[in-house]
Amino acid sequence: MKWPASVAVADHSSLIDIPFPYLLSLVFLNLTLALLLRLAAPVEPFLSNQSDYQYVGEHGLAPNCPKQTYCYRVLIPALVEHIPLALPIRWRVYQVVANTAAGVLIAVATVISLRQASAAIVASVMVQTSFGFAYTAYDPYTADPAVFLASSIILLSWLVNRPRAAGIVTVICVFVKESVAFIGAAPAIASLIWPRRDQWRLWTLQAVIAWTILLTFHLLMDHLFGWSLGTDPSYVYLVQGAQLRLWLSEQGPSLAAFYIFAPFGFAWLYALLGYCSAPKELRSLGLGSVLPFLILIYLQQPERALENGAFVIVPLAVAFLSRLPLSISLIAALTNGLFTAKVGSSTAWLPSAALLLAIAAIPAIYAVVAHYRDLAMGPRSRV
């Protein structure tokens, strides 16, 4: 399936005219997948930060917040608090709506980049079943869905070269979670790797402004309102290993490797293989994301840090899978998605993660073998 003729994209810096029926179908697909993950997950999470976010939502910017890191993530709890629904329902609605919107935007961005309409289907499946999205279906009491949405807007802004739009989102969403400041730095670094002529200064500036606002907010609340990061490992052991030190001390080598693999499963491999054939915008954004995410891994639980990378991993993975027949691409995305969704959502609807991993490995091996076979035989053999 090729890019629809009615969708006009003169270049990556132009505004995009997406046909409404096409966009509506993406909304329906992503909403259906988000609701299925929600239905499959346990009714209530066994482990959750619900009380922390609920406190922040009820008290806002009140002095002497006792919730350490969560105090600074005030925007989403404050907004959710005003949704006129029962407490569990309003968090569920927020989670489904934010994940749906993020999935649609990543799918649209993938199609814009690859110019292949069917890529949106594969991207939607891969996004919604990724570990991070599935984990929020298990535990919606988190700022993560808003982070996913912010990162998807930043991705789309990068592809159409709109640094001001990315800057507005990044500046606002640093009050959602600190991770957004790191994500906003990715296109800034990418603009230096692949300069966009008159725009690289704006891409750098939006990241600098976001970081300035974030750090100023922390300092003001600490000194004027009595807030503190307290005993958070990322603060206490910043020089000695931060959160990564604690995480490694709790995991054995095999379990640590599993948690690094779990956020995207075989999509890590697909993204690596798709890097060389991806458009330069995606390649530069991938390189620009490396340093910010290495720092995030240092400061946060690695699997929870890596889950934020869907905005760059999924388009790169689809860049590889889009070279294969659509049926193979979908099978690879679905089987891999069952594994990552199982790990993320803790659903009882699916068999063990080990079995699902073995199943997902079959189309992954086939896709890689087919890829290298086509490379060996030359361009005429490619689909």
pLDDT of residue 379: 54
pLDDT over threshold 90, residue 252: no
Question: What's the whole-number mean pLDDT along residues 45-74?
Answer: 93
pLDDT of amino acid 232: 82
The residue with greater pLDDT, 2 or 98, is 98
Question: What is the percent of the chain with per-residue pLDDT over 70, rounded to a whole number?
Answer: 93
Least confident of 53-62, 230-239, 275-284: 230-239
pLDDT at 2 over 70: no
Q: Once rounded to an integer, what is the mean pLDDT over residues 284-288? A: 96
Rounded average pLDDT over 68-91: 94
> Average per-residue pLDDT in the chain?
91
Residue 3 has pLDDT above 70, yes or no: no
pLDDT at 197 (0 to 100) = 55
- Tell me what percent of the residues of the chain surpass a pLDDT of 90: 78
pLDDT at 370: 86
Average pLDDT score over residue span 226-255: 85
Mean pLDDT, range 39-55, rounded to an integer? 91
Burial of 114 (0-12, 13-18, 19+ CB in 10 A): buried
Q: pLDDT tens-digit profile of 162-221?
A: 999 999 999 999 999 999 999 999 999 999 988 665 689 999 999 999 999 999 999 999
pLDDT of residue 236: 81
**pLDDT value of residue 155:** 97
Q: 10 pLDDT exceeds 60?
A: no
pLDDT at 233: 80
Output the pLDDT for position 107.
97
